[in-house]
Structure 1
Amino acid sequence: MSNNNGVDSFEDIRPYHDDEVQAVLYRLVHNPEFIALISRYEFPRLSRWLGPLMRLVVKGQLKKRLCPIKDVAAFQIQIRDLFTKSLGRTTDGVSWSGVDALAKDKPYLFVSNHRDIALDPALVNWVCHQAGMQTARIGIGDNLLKKPFVTDLMRLNKSFIVKRSAKGVRELAAAMNVLSSYIDHSIQTGHSIWIAQREGRAKDGNDQTDPALLKMFFLSHRKTRSFAEMVDRLNIVPVAISYEFDPCDKLKAKELATLAREGCYNKGPLEDLKAMGLGFTGFKGRVHVAFGEPIKGEGMDGPDTLAAAIDAQIHHSYKLFESNLSAAGEGDLSWFNERTRELDEKEKAFVKAAYARPVENARKAG
């Protein structure tokens, strides 16, 4: 959207446009950090001994693969194909429900539980693609964009930036107003949105929507329509993503144990990037993506009411695997004992509680 002076109002947060794709791909192919990362991923052993040579090989392969790409859709097809291969290696299958009940040509605001930094929205978009729906624009915090090549990759893949690091009350309020306007603008121009139900992953397994997120949705509407009217306008659909095994479960437990023991946890500068990598490459067992029903505005008088409605759908549709049921006391825990054998007792307790919590939430949801 442009203002009266022809300036793109959302330029610094929006995904890249088609006419920007080739320049961004050129930057990526010539970014040494990006090339080195891909080289270590594709050729972990050879990169140790023949690093410069393998980086040249990777750079040549990337040029060949990326040069024909002219727009975002073509880039996402490349991502989809790589992701499909990755799911074949790291899961025992991905299932989904509810998406067939949604209109193929209608934009939605998908509010999902948040267990994995980048894998959650990737799975939602992958299922949308399988179902013949358009992929969603993805909300991602600027705290994750520590490297220029990460920012480029995310914005190429239809990500928009949530400015969590804005300094001061006025700057933060202005950033949230722009974000609220961008989400509404996207929906009104036919583009679906994915956003997590809260800032940060649910490391304790407790999927709860933060009402502050829903207040942000309302910022750009508060002068022109009621909260209920906003809910109807945005087509909000809760989404529950369930992993039989969380590749980052032990890392999350160590963080929670440190926080409980010391009262604080200092995250390393590249810790989120490492977690993103582990989420994609680690084994997840079975995975299920459950799309809920669009929430109607009637009776939605504020953020707390809407948060409760979103949570009810997520808790009800979350697919409970044997890992969840056994952690809640309904099955064999041999998998748990094997998985957590190197952890201390406090860390083990956090892992078990995280797997059990969706069972407790499902019981409360009925």
Structure 2
Amino acid sequence: MMGEFDAIRPYADAEVPAVLARLLADKAFLEILTHFRFPRLARHFGWLLKPLIAHRLRQEFAGVASVAALQDKVAHYVDRTIEHATDGVTYSGVEQLKSGSAYLFLANHRDIVMDPAFVNYAVYHAGLPTPRIAIGDNLLQKPFVSDLMRLNKSFIVHRSLSGRREKLAAYQLLSAYINHSIRHDCESIWIAQAEGRAKDGDDRTDSAILKMFHMSRKSEPFAAVIQELNLTPVSISYEYDPCDQAKARELYIRATAGSYEKVAGEDDQSIALGITGYKGRVHVNFGAPIKAAFEDTKQLAMEMDRQILGGYRLFPVHYLAYALWTERDPALSVPSAAELFPAAELAAAQAEWQKRLDACPVEQRPYLVLQYANPVRNQYRIKAGLPL
């Protein structure tokens, strides 16, 4: 029997062996793995390496018959990737999360794959079950990507629908699935606070997403539904964004040409760079689940912003960028990086920041600065009790 959520839900344990077998026979998937694992050899010896890698993976994943077993198998690869591309991941607030409860994690969005990966990392290492992850169908162009994501507890958000009625039906289904997941399956959910990454570093909650949570339970009061979902603000802070140059370029083109057209494969490149590129330190902060009664989405969005922006960890680079920003806010007294950080830490940040500025074309630099300066302005406005 077809379940009502079959079109969007993650794979169930019973489906894992068949999906794994399908993945390990997928040429495109093996191609990417081969290039990722052996970048130099892949060009000339890919034909030889692919069957060897497939054979090795079949051996390694033989007997994996559940999502939890798969995540346990993959955890050390994820940890290794994180160790290679960061100077360490820290997290705070995770002690507020209770075992046996499900949460609706609403997070700022900077990186397509790594945002939920870092939340997973924090939750997994705290000994709690990992959340189900909302992912846009625009990122699932290849069948193997869809298989991979749905194996890893991802569910699909249909974004590429054009008709109003289809969009409405998709949101209704999504709302029902999120509510079902938390209330009936006791499975947490991770979803971004807005569609698309905050390319200018200005993290804001889209009230349409908050409205969607309530859509499938219209007859019940909004505040009560939100409280029952354990809505929890999450702030993910990257010291350095591997995609910052590409974001600066896109913002510059939008500002000068009025629009920006993505080229084929651009999302794939962003994903690859986001995973493997240097991020410096990363911090994940879990706010307290929303207990107050918010009567409407606008008020709730303001509270989510206050907590997400307030929980963001500012690194030296953010203050260095703020000092260069021509749009600095005269109403705010923001200390300099030198007042806040030890000399050695600051010197390392200055060198890395200079490297990034030098790599950025002069006309695009204001958009690079903006990405790192905005979180400072937002946090200090919150501290001063000013509207955002």
Instruction: Check whether TM > 0.5.
Output: yes
Distance across 2 between alignment mates of 1:270 and 1:347 = 22
**Matched AA of 1:155:** R
Distance across 1 between alignment mates of 2:248 and 2:50 = 35
Q: Is the 8 A contact 1:135 1:192 kept in 2?
A: yes
Q: Could you tell me which of 337, 347, 351 is aligned with 2:368?
A: 351
Question: Map of 1:189-268 to 2, 5 A cutoff?
Answer: 189=184, 190-223=186-219, 225-268=220-263
Question: 1:165 is paired with a residue of what secondary structure?
Answer: coil
Distance across 2 between alignment mates of 1:280 and 1:79 = 15
Query: Which residue of structure 2 aligns with residue 16 of structure 1?
Result: 11
Query: Which residue of structure 1 aligns with residue 341 of structure 2?
Result: none
Question: Map of 1:27-176 to 2, 5 A cutoff?
Answer: 27-176=22-171
* Matched residue count: 359
Q: Is the 8 A contact 1:229 1:297 kept in 2?
A: no
CA shift for structure 1 position 231: 1.1
Query: Which residue of structure 1 aligns with residue 280 of structure 2?
Result: 285
Summarize deviations over 1:284-308 as a string: whole Å, max 9, x none.
110000000011242x011111101
CA shift for structure 1 position 335: 2.7
Tell me, which stretches of 5 or more residues in structure 1 are unaligned? 1-5
**Matched AA of 1:349:** P
Distance across 2 between alignment mates of 1:44 and 1:71 = 31
Question: Map of 1:270-281 to 2, 5 A cutoff?
Answer: 270-281=265-276
Q: Could you tell me which of 312, 317, 329 is aligned with 1:318?
A: 312
**Matched AA of 1:82:** Y
Distance across 1 between alignment mates of 2:63 and 2:317 = 44
**Matched AA of 1:199:** E
- Bigger mean CA deviation after superposition, 326-335 or 10-19: 326-335
- With structure 1 as the length reference, what TM-score do the two structures score? 0.96
Query: Which residue of structure 1 aligns with residue 328 of structure 2?
Result: none
CA shift for structure 1 position 337: 2.2
Distance across 2 between alignment mates of 1:285 and 1:159 = 27
Question: 1:138 is paired with a residue of what secondary structure?
Answer: strand
Question: 1:45 is paired with a residue of what secondary structure?
Answer: helix
Distance across 2 between alignment mates of 1:67 and 1:36 = 21
Distance across 2 between alignment mates of 1:310 and 1:46 = 48
Q: Is the 8 A contact 1:111 1:239 kept in 2?
A: yes
CA shift for structure 1 position 66: 2.0
CA shift for structure 1 position 277: 1.1
Q: Is the 8 A contact 1:242 1:288 kept in 2?
A: yes
CA shift for structure 1 position 346: 2.6
Tell me, which stretches of 5 or more residues in structure 2 are unaligned? 324-335, 338-345, 384-388
Distance across 1 between alignment mates of 2:22 and 2:362 = 47
- Bigger mean CA deviation after superposition, 328-337 or 188-197: 328-337
Q: Could you tell me which of 352, 355, 373 is aligned with 1:338?
A: 355
Question: 1:238 is paired with a residue of what secondary structure?
Answer: strand
- With structure 2 as the length reference, what TM-score do the two structures score? 0.91
Distance across 2 between alignment mates of 1:221 and 1:53 = 55
Q: Is the 8 A contact 1:240 1:315 kept in 2?
A: yes
**Matched AA of 2:375:** P
Q: Is the 8 A contact 1:237 1:293 kept in 2?
A: yes
CA shift for structure 1 position 276: 1.0
- Bigger mean CA deviation after superposition, 334-343 or 146-155: 334-343
Question: 1:268 is paired with a residue of what secondary structure?
Answer: coil
Whether 1:365 and 2:382 are equivalent positions in the alignment is yes
Q: Is the 8 A contact 1:250 1:340 kept in 2?
A: no
**Matched AA of 2:301:** A
Question: 2:155 is paired with a residue of what secondary structure?
Answer: strand
Identity %: 45
CA shift for structure 1 position 269: 2.3
Distance across 2 between alignment mates of 1:254 and 1:215 = 33
Distance across 2 between alignment mates of 1:147 and 1:258 = 28
CA shift for structure 1 position 342: 2.9
Summarize deviations over 1:220-258 as a string: whole Å, max 9, x none.
1112x1111111111000000000010111111111111
Distance across 2 between alignment mates of 1:222 and 1:174 = 14
Aligned CA RMSD, in angstroms, stands at 1.1
Q: Which runs of 4+ in 1 moved over 6 A?
A: none
CA shift for structure 1 position 7: 3.1
Question: 1:115 is paired with a residue of what secondary structure?
Answer: coil
Query: Which residue of structure 2 aligns with residue 3 of structure 1?
Result: none
Question: 1:104 is paired with a residue of what secondary structure?
Answer: coil
**Matched AA of 1:214:** L
**Matched AA of 1:321:** F
Q: Is the 8 A contact 1:96 1:289 kept in 2?
A: yes
Distance across 1 between alignment mates of 2:197 and 2:292 = 27
Summarize deviations over 1:186-242 as a string: whole Å, max 9, x none.
00020000000000000000000001111111101112x111111111100000000
Distance across 2 between alignment mates of 1:95 and 1:212 = 31
Distance across 1 between alignment mates of 2:74 and 2:374 = 33
